[in-house]
Every structure is written in structure tokens, then in C-alpha cells.
Structure 1
Amino acid sequence: MNKPFHAFCIASTQSGGGKTTVSLALMAALSARGLRVQAFKCGPDYIDPSFHRQATGLPSFNLDTWMMGKNGVRSQWARHASCADIAICEGVMGLFDARTPESLEGSTADCALTLGLPVLLVVQARGMAGSIAAVVRGFSQHHPGLNIAGVIANGVGSATHADLLRRALAHHGLPPLVAALPRNAEWTLPERQLGLVPAEEEARQQSWFRRLAEAVEKHVNWELLMDITAIPRPAPLKASIPSAPARGRLAVARDNAFCFYYEDNLERLRHAGWEITCFSPLEDTALPEGTRALYLGGGYPETFASRLESNEAMRNAILEFAKNGGEIFAECGGYMYLCKELALPDGTSRNMCGVIDGTARMGEKLRSLGYRETVMETEAPFGLRFTRIRGHEFHWSSIKLNRPYPPLYMVGGKDGSLSAEGVADGNVKAGYIHLYWGHENHDQPQTPQPRQGRVILLNGASSAGKSTLARTLHRLMEEDSMIFSMDDYLAMSRGRHENALDAVRETGLPFIESFHAAIAEAARKGALVIVDHVIGESARWIRDLLNRLSGIPCALIKVDCREDILLERERNRTDRTPDPAHAERQHGSIHQHFPHDFSIDTTEATPRECALELMGQLPPEFRATQE
């Protein structure tokens, strides 16, 4: 596909900065221009994607480096972005807000780094002029490997205000102002305790999206936006998913009360052989004919408690389905709906399905929020195969069980402890955590599809041991592999330059781009490629290679060595002229921009020990080919 491709992340300085409104405005405006816009959402949110679908007419998919892993994010991106004209990924919280303050895992920044995406930073500009430069400079320099390509000022008061913001950024040599969006009360989306009111319930008319698109048209520098967001198109995934035998009809509760689902989860259930049919616990009086299993997702049963109670026919149908052995899996709001009653903050109670002997009690403040890692205590739902699985929990309610039930899973705590949670009562499984099973789980290694390329990228300073480690991996891994070494590549030049920076500066030849193009082409043709590189010398180099490798499984390895040992090795080199000053400089900076997956220290371990340690840490698609 030779059509131009554009993609970017929309990030913000903090939650509430206007990311969703800005994202919807750009999605709607670009769709109105006749472009196929594919939307994504960083993080575990299931509400924002429902608005994305209304703006673009296409399902929106989650990207989460903690729940999916980086290779899962790359696969998701390649699967859905490759057919689009433009892909827009709405961020989560602030740009660098992550699972923990010490890591980028789960953050917008981690997604952008993993995919090599340019970032448009949304800044709430009300009451601000020249200070925008300080804000943008701080975000731009916080992680130099990240490409903040442009700025969107939100809440701008006038054209004069927009001009002040534009000049401030230009004066300080910062990323340019791409858009200056005015304050407009009509653009505000209503919220409740778990975030935005879901699109299914809020039901914005298409006329609202048209007005939004028309309104932002004159406030965006479209030529600049398209110029700074042009990147290589991700190659579509070639691996086909084998068809599974038909399992029957899976009824999914989907209406205003139950609407929290990951599109990936539903897609995987289809691939597993289920015929998915949606129904409404609010409106329907019977389950779909021929239902073999029932999936009750999260949502707001407390908001619609009166209507759910009034629909006695559906409550009885679900109870009878459970008594007759029908499989039921319920999450969060669905778990509450299966209980005997739902107690509301005003002191009243509403009857629910009575499948689980317990009371769900709606609180007035947050009870649980965050990522969760679980170990199943029973078989996974719907015939899926996983034992360990990750997910997300977010609720204000609690459930008191009136009798003991076997737990559904063990949940890991921050202190390493495990707690038994959820209910596994024969054919009925329920818990608060929204599990993510959209990609094969880490405890189910899958043999790579024939000729599926993969890349092991070793980044480290001169004399850190990259080359020796690459050769040892090449020897120990059962599968044939190709080593791409920057040293060997430099030797092709007439001057036989001994470091990449000098070669690029002195010759002007495209050493880096052609080296990266060769790596990507070998991987796309099915090779396992081991790369010996000093890619951390430049954030631009990192972005270039990761863009070229979009959709290809990669393991990014930080190769480290204690400085005194590294300098001793450098002084003793015989394959080229020793350069301790160069090695010392690289030691202090080579990993600064590099978004590594894990690290190997070669200071004391032998090359074989380092290679075996690395092989033990590789993702399943790499480990499947080892001795």
C-alpha cells in the first residue's frame, strides 16, 4: 500500500486537560475529509473508545504496555493501523503517568516510545501566555527519546491569545503550535464517578460530531499537522489465526447498564469459535434463543437499578440459565447484577438476579482502582486457555457474600501477598477485575508462525560486550539467525570509520537509515535478527528503527558493564584503535534515550551466562525456538 500514512498520540499534561474532546474533534474532522481514521486508546479505559467509534465509524482498540506487553501493543497496532489513512491514539492521564512513578509501564509515553509515534501535547492554556514555553520545554526534555512533535493549546481565549502562545513556542525553539482550540461549553462531555458518561448512554447525535468537526477546522494548521505526523505505514500482520470449531452462541449484555468491554476480548472469543449476540438486561425479557454462555460486563447497574429490578422476566431467565448449568462470566457491574440485591446510597435496595447469594452495596467514594495481576483458581471462562492474566479494577461498590464461595482467582498485592477474590461456583464465575485476554497470555507460549521475523536489539557502549553476546546468542539459539553489526556495516565505507557518529558526520552517507532498512527488511522476510548497535547515541535513530519495525516482535536489550571494566576492555582492544574517551562518553549516555525491555550486565558474567540469562527473559515468541 503506497498511500501516505500519518499517525500520532494525543497526550496531555494531566487528566482533565481535554484529551478526549481534542481527540474526538480531530477524528471527526479528518473523517469528514474522507480519510479512514483508526482510533486507539492508551491504557485500560473502555469508555473513551465508545466515543471514538461514534466519531470515526470504526471500533477503537486499546493499547496498554502493561496489560498487553510491548509486543502485544505492536501487534495490535499493526493489525488495525495498517489499513488506515491516519491513526490517532488518545493518551491516558498525563503523558508520563504510569503504573508506578519509577517506570513508564502503562503510560502514554511508553506507548509512543514502543510504536515510535510522534506526540501532540495538549496544554490547557487558559490564563497562560509565555509560560506555555516552560511547560512544553519540561515535557519535551523529560524523556529525550520521546518525539513531542507539536502542541495543541486548549481553552484559548482569542486569536490574539493564540498568537502569543505560537510566538512563545517559536521564540524558544520548541515544538510548534499545531492548533489553538477556543473555549466552548458545547464541547464538554458529562462525567460521573468512573469517568465520562458512556457513549451508549450519552448518545451524542452525529450532528454534534459534525458541529465539532466544523468548529475546529479553522483552528488547526492542517498542513503542519500532516507534515509532522507522516511516518512509515506499519506492515499488516501476515500470521493467520487458525479457525476454531464452533462453540455456540455467546450472549453478551450490552446496553446502557452494561457497556464495559474490550473489543480485543470479544474478537478473541469470535476466533475461539463463539457466535456473539448482544442482548439488553434493561429491555429484553428473555435471553437470545440458543444461548450456550452468558457474558455480563461492567457498567452502571446502580444508575439503572430500578429498571433492572423491574425487568423481572430477564432476572428470572438468567437465574434459570444458571440453575440449568449454563456458563456465566461476570465482571464488576455484571458481578453486582448477579447478586441477590443491590443496596444504594439513599438507603433503598433493589432486587437483582439472585444467582450469587450476596449483597452489592454502592458506596459514595472510590474503593478500588488500578492494574491487577491474577492467577486463576479455576478454569478460564469460555474455554479460553490462561492461568495468569492481567486486568484493571475500578469501582465504588463492595460485595458481601452471605455464604462462602470458592474464589475465582488469587490477586497479587503491592507487597507481594496474594488474596483470594471473586466467585467460582461451578458454571458461574464472577469478580470485580476487568480481565484482558485479547492477546495470548504469557503463560501460553505460542509457536511462531512460519517465517515470522523477530528482532533482538542489543544497545550498549563500546566494549560493553555486545558483539560477543550477539555471537554467543547466534550459537546457542536453535533457530538460524542473522547478526547485523554496526561495526561491520561501518567497515563498508572507504574511510573505515570506527564509530557511527563520526561516519555520519564526516561522510554524509545514510549509514543509519540504510542499516535500519536492512534490519527491517530481513525481519519482514522472516529472519530472526540479532542487532549489535549503538542506537542509544541518538533519539532520532531510535525512533527511525522502531518506526521501521512497527508490528515486528522486538526485544530491546540494555547491555551494561561497570565503567572501570569497560575502560579496561577498551584499552586492551586489538581489532581497532582503542578510544577510552569515546567509550567513557558512551557509558554515561548510551542508555539515556533507550526504551529497553530488560538489561544484561556483562561485568562479571561470562558471555555464555549472559546469553542464557537473556534467553530466559525473552518473550514466548522468541523462547519457543531455543534449545
Structure 2
Amino acid sequence: MKRLLIAGTNSGVGKTTISTAIMAALDKVTPFKVGPDYIDPRFHEFVTENPSYNLDIFICGEEAVKKIFIDGSSRGNISIIEGVMGLYDGKNHDLDNGSSAHMARLLKTPVMLVVDAKGASTSVAAKVLGYKLLDSRVKIGGVILNNVSSEKLYDLLKEGIERHTGIKCFGYFPPNPEIELGSRHLGLRQAEEIEGLKKKLEVLKEMAEKYLDLEGILEASETDEVIESSYESEKIKDMFKGLKVAIARDTAFSFYYRSNIELMEYAGMEITGFSPLNNEKIPENSDFIYLGGGYPENFGEILENNKITQDSIRNAYENNIPIYGECGGFMYLGKGIKDKEGVYHKMCGLIDVDVEMKNRLNIKRFGYINFETTDGLKGRAHEFHYSDISRVGDEKCYFDISKENGRKWQCGFTKRNLLAGYPHVHFWGNIEFFKKLFEKGRR
């Protein structure tokens, strides 16, 4: 199996740009992303035209991660994993901390280390050597240098790195403003933005073919080490056979873990899509409604005026069809959203909660969380949102949430057949939650 994890020395060194370029230049790539990020996998899918899978040790556990990787890797010629932050950066300073390095060890995968070489010479070799020595169990299979102004300078840097570290260099990228990927709000892929992205990808592919040793990278990705998983997914095969699940799918609601959808299908669910942005009704005979995350705040006026969708969701609620909303889906199910311009847009009104958009990420409720439900389920999830709850009526919470830094709060509003809140839950790591959630649809 050919597999490679592309990691950076730190955030902002060009890891996503170079990962995207390599994916664009190689054939039949199965892409993966370390961590809970929804944005980079959208890049991957756009580039490769293949599904991209999140790999998250903290939320899912090691055995589930291996299972997701094994199943996904069988679909392509090479698996490319884009790392997260710097190579060793995780939830703490342990080496088993959910970092890209931890993932590389778990999946027995060589690392291609991306290094920003701007303004440096022999010091780049010292940096690479440090990453090699911190954990000798991590196999750094090669180095790619970013922001190198000329081939002559690259040759100089390459000679120093290979002499002092014994790690081979596989090319470089020169500075190029054409390939800057901007704010990366890929959830807002309007037609003109897609055209711009296609042009950038063409440039990235050309740069990869010109500046990178693609044959060498393929050789570095080869390994005969076998990955095995003890994750017992067979226990839920066809558990919910015939359950009809309606999923909101458009540019306002686009954040779903690919593995979650595939697990639902493996459990026998029949999935159909509907678009609140296009004012579509819930599909007939639906047994369950799932509204994922995304950017409903950017379409507030449209969603407010699309009464056909809102009415069909309210009617489904009155007819006791279970509804589950995550983050953006939660916001849409509430009373309303106040955007950053201060304009209030009415939403479905099934939960007596208002939210207000902010200019900054809600850092107090950002990142990995532990949760315990009112009926005794324990699990892990992730929160990431630029909105705050500005008003809450007499609503009951389902999740008691805590972070490792000691911060605690409640979320996950529940009433009758509805559950909605900010946490993004990966079903593979929370299988009991998964079963309890969709059991409501079967009843």
C-alpha cells in the first residue's frame, strides 16, 4: 500500500497548499485529514473527486481510526493524509496526543515534512534534525521546502539537510501569490469561486510537476507494513435497515463527516437529501431528519423567507419525526440568528433559543470536549463556532460538557423528538450515542 502523511513544522508553512498540489498531480488519490476539520476535506474532494475522510484519535479512538483508514485506502492507488498544525502538536505535550506524528505511528505511515525555508540556510537542517530526533518512532520519509526563491538556493539547502539529517529532499515551492487559497470558506463555493479555485489548482498541479520529485515521493510512500484494526463495526450492520433519513445538503448545510454518512448506510439507512436554501420540503415518508453544520448565518434572509422548508420541518416535528441538528443545524432550528450586521433572521423556532454572530471564534467553547448525556452516555466531540447563544427560554439541556482545562457548561437542547446543539459528534467514536440517536427514528 502506498501511503504518505504530509505534515508541517508548524501551522502556516504551506502544508495545505503542498498537500493539495500533490493530490492534484497524482492519480487515484484517497485523501484523509487529521483532526475534526471540515474545510480541508472539501479541498481534497474538489481536487481528487474522491471522498475525504477525517482521522481523529481523540474523538474516535485508535481502532476506529485504523478501520476508517483501511476501508478508505482500498479505493485508490495512494492514500495522502494531510496533517494538522505542526507535526507534534496535539492536545497536550505527550507524544500520544492525537497529533500528526501520533497518527503517522498509528498508521505506520511515512511523513513528508513541509518546511518554510524563507530567510534560512543551514538552520533549516537543524530544524529538520530536531523533528527527526524528538520521536524516533516517527519515520520522516522526506522533506519539501516552501518559499525557496531559486533552484540554486534549493540545491544549497538540500545539500545541508541531507548531509546533517540523512533525510532526502523531494523538491521545493517558490513564492507564488497565485496559489494563495484565501479564507478557505469552501462552504460558500459559488460558481465564480469554483472557477477561481480550478485555476489555482491548475497552477498547483503545474508547480508540483515542475518543482517536486513526484516519482521519488511515490517511492517514499511505499511500505509493506500491515495495519490491522479490532474495531467491530459488524455489530451494527443493517441495524437500522430501511430507516429513511432526510439530510439537509446545500452550501448552507455542508459539514458532515464522510465516515458518519457511510456508517449510516452500513447500518442500513436509506439517505435522501433536501435543500433548505432551495426551499425544498422534507422528503416524503422520512423517519428521521438530520441537519448538519455549515453557514446558515450567511444565508439568513433566504432561509428566513423559505417557508416551505420551515413549515415541513415544523410539521415533521409535530408528527413526532425525530430531528437532530449540529451547530449550523442547531442554529437553524432555533428562533433566529442575528448576523454580524445586527440583522435578525427568523428560523424554524422549534427551540426557544436565539444566537448572535461574532467577529471572533468563541475560544471558550472551542476544541475537543467530553460530554455526558442526561441518560448516562459518555463520549467525545468537537465545537467550533463564531456565534454565541444570546437568549435561552425554558429549554432542557442533554449534554453536560467539560474540557480538560476544567471549563464546564451545558448544551444540546432537547424536547420531545428533537435534539440540537453546537457539538459535532463523530459516530465512529460514539457508537452508543449513534445507536440511541437513530433508535428514535425506528420507534
TM over 0.5: yes
1:583-622 matches, cutoff 5 A: none
For 1:260 and 1:17, the matched residues in 2 are separated by: 26
Q: Which consecutive residues of structure 2, in runs of 5 or more, have no partner in the other structure? A: 436-443
Q: 1:162 to 1:208 in 2, by over 3 A?
A: same
The counterpart of 2:113, out of the listed 117, 121, 131, is 121
CA distance in 2, matches of 1:436, 1:375: 15
Note closer, same or farther for the CA distance 1:233–1:290 as it changes in structure 2 (3 Å cut).
farther
Contact 2:379 2:429 in 1 (8 A): no
Which protein has the larger Cα radius of gyration, Structure 1 or Structure 2? Answer: 1
The answer (yes or no) to whether the contact 2:373–2:399 under 8 Å persists in 1 is: yes
1:176 match: 168
Q: Could you say what secondary structure the match of 1:422 adopts?
A: strand
Q: Is 1:30–2:26 an aligned residue pair?
A: yes
Structure 1 contact 309–351 (Cα < 8 Å) conserved: yes
1:431 aligned partner: 421
Q: Is the 8 A contact 1:165 1:177 kept in 2?
A: no
Identify the range of structure 1 (196-205 vs 158-167) with the bigger mean alpha-carbon deviation.
196-205
Q: Are 1:339 and 2:334 an aligned pair?
A: yes
Q: Where does residue 369 of structure 2 map in the other structure?
A: 372
Contact 2:247 / 2:274 at 8 angstroms: preserved in 1? Answer: yes
Q: How far apart, in 2, do the equivalents of 1:336 and 1:444 lie?
A: 21
Which residue number in structure 2 is paired with residue 86 of structure 1?
A: 78
Query: C-alpha separation between the residues in 2 aligned to 1:213 and 1:122?
Result: 17
Question: TM-score with structure 1 length normalisation?
Answer: 0.64
2:148 to 144, 152, 156: 156
- Which 4+ residue blocks in structure 1 deviate beyond 4 angstroms? 199-202, 204-208, 233-240, 415-418, 442-445
When normalised by structure 2's length, the TM-score is: 0.89
Partner of 2:194: 203
Q: In the aligned structure 1, how far is the partner of 2:433 from the partner of 2:424?
A: 19
Q: Identity of aligned pairs, percent?
A: 36
- Give 1:555-574 correspondences, 5 Å limit: none
Q: How many residues align?
A: 427
SS at 1:74 equivalent? helix
Once the two structures are TM-superposed, the CA of residue 48 in structure 1 deviates from its matched residue by 0.8
Residue 204 of structure 2 aligns to a residue whose secondary structure is: helix
More divergent stretch after superposition (350-359 vs 280-289): 280-289
CA RMSD of aligned residues (A): 2.5
Q: How far apart, CA to CA, are the structure 2 residues paired with 1:332 and 1:120? A: 34
State the one-letter code of the partner of 1:173.
Answer: T
Which deviations, in whole Å up to 9, do the C-alpha atoms of 1:2-42 show, x marking residues without a partner?
xxx321110001112211111111111012xxxx2111111
Candidates 379, 383, 387, aligned match of 1:397 = 387
User: How many angstroms does 1:434 deviate by?
Assistant: 0.1
Deviation digits for residues 544-566 of structure 1, max 9, x if unmatched? xxxxxxxxxxxxxxxxxxxxxxx
Distance between the aligned counterparts of 2:213 and 2:157, measured in 1?
A: 14
Aligned mates of 1:401, 1:325 — CA distance in 2: 26
- Gaps of at least 5 residues in structure 1 are 379-385, 446-627
Deviates most, 227-236 or 435-444 = 435-444
Secondary structure, aligned partner of 1:320: helix
2:266 to 249, 267, 271: 271
For residues 233 and 257 of structure 2, the distance between their equivalents in structure 1, rounded to whole angstroms, comes to 21
SS in 2 for 1:203: helix
CA deviation map 1:187-221 (0-9, x unaligned): 22121xxx643375553565543442123102111
Partner of 1:11: 7
What is the Cα deviation at residue 83 of structure 1? 4.3
1:240: how far off?
Answer: 7.5
C-alpha contact 2:187 2:295 (8 A) present in aligned 1: no
Q: SS state of the match for residue 85, structure 2?
A: coil
- 8 Å CA contact 2:292–2:326 kept in 1: the answer is yes
TM-superposed CA distance for 1:443, in Å, is 9.2
Q: 1:516-537 CA distances to partner (integer Å, 9 max, x unpaired)?
A: xxxxxxxxxxxxxxxxxxxxxx
Q: 1:271 deviation in Å?
A: 2.1
Letter in 1 for 2:63: N
Q: Does 2:241 match 1:246? A: yes
Q: Is the 8 A contact 1:82 1:233 kept in 2?
A: no
Residue by residue, what CA displacement relative to the aligned partner does 1:354-386 show, whole Å, maximum 9, x if unpaired? Answer: 1111211111212121101112225xxxxxxx9
